[in-house]
Structure 1
């Protein structure tokens, strides 16, 4: 008799700092949280501004003008990488300072989408 393989959908893996970021951001009143098939996403006024894209990575929609203003600071930060959609950046969150950077960039994204 052949064995039967059972496939279970496992909880998505998150690094400890990304998990902390998600937990913190769930409490922010300006953000609407959605648990999608692709993972957790956060929106402001119906516009997605933050999404989980990997175990230790989140993408933030800052808007192209905000990225342009921050570019001198972000250029030398290896934890932040541009995305093909120029309104987004990918943030690698591997340590406490990365978590603080992600939260700060999320604040910038909220302001950019509320103004």
Structure 2
């Protein structure tokens, strides 16, 4: 069983999430009552929809995580699942996403152009941290 399939199985059991077809058309997705939350695109790549407020609040932590990639202007972050601990990070971030979407639902905070799967530009950790 791959890391992504294990993460998907764990998240699919959460009562606030249901499996859905991803709007980007690639892989599998989970959504809440407020919209799509997570897209599983491959055995190792997962896109997670955070609110702008959550990204701003946790920006330093997201930039510091070597498995997290951010695209400027996107409210989706990409998480690369490389080891078991990355599943724990994903679960934590999904919890943050669910809480953010429930606490501060903002109509303009819907994902503007879809997830990061079809975007080519990602920032490396060195660029994000100024290194």
TM-score w.r.t. the length of structure 2 is: 0.71
1:54 aligns to what SS in structure 2? coil
Once the two structures are superposed, the pairs formed by residues 53-92 of structure 1 within 5 Å of their partners are: 53-92=41-80
Structure 1 Cα separation of the partners of residues 18 and 73 of structure 2: 22
Report whether the alignment pairs 1:23 with 2:42.
Answer: no
Q: Max radius of gyration: which structure?
A: 1
Match of 1:7? none
Shift, 1:78, TM fit = 1.2
TM-score w.r.t. the length of structure 1 is: 0.80
Q: Which has the higher strand share?
A: 1
Structure 2 Cα separation of the partners of residues 84 and 65 of structure 1: 15
Aligned pair count reads: 101
Asked if structure 1 preserves the Cα contact closer than 8 Å seen for 2:3 and 2:43, the reply is no
Superposed CA offset, 1:49-93 (max 9, x none): 100122201000011110111111111211001035521100001
Asked if structure 1 preserves the Cα contact closer than 8 Å seen for 2:4 and 2:42, the reply is no
1:106 to 91, 94, 98: 94
Q: Provide the alpha-carbon RMSD of the alignment.
A: 1.6
Point out where structure 1 has 5 or more consecutive residues left out of the alignment.
1-14
Point out where structure 2 has 5 or more consecutive residues left out of the alignment.
104-131
Which consecutive aligned stretches of 4+ in structure 1 deviate over 6 angstroms post-superposition? none
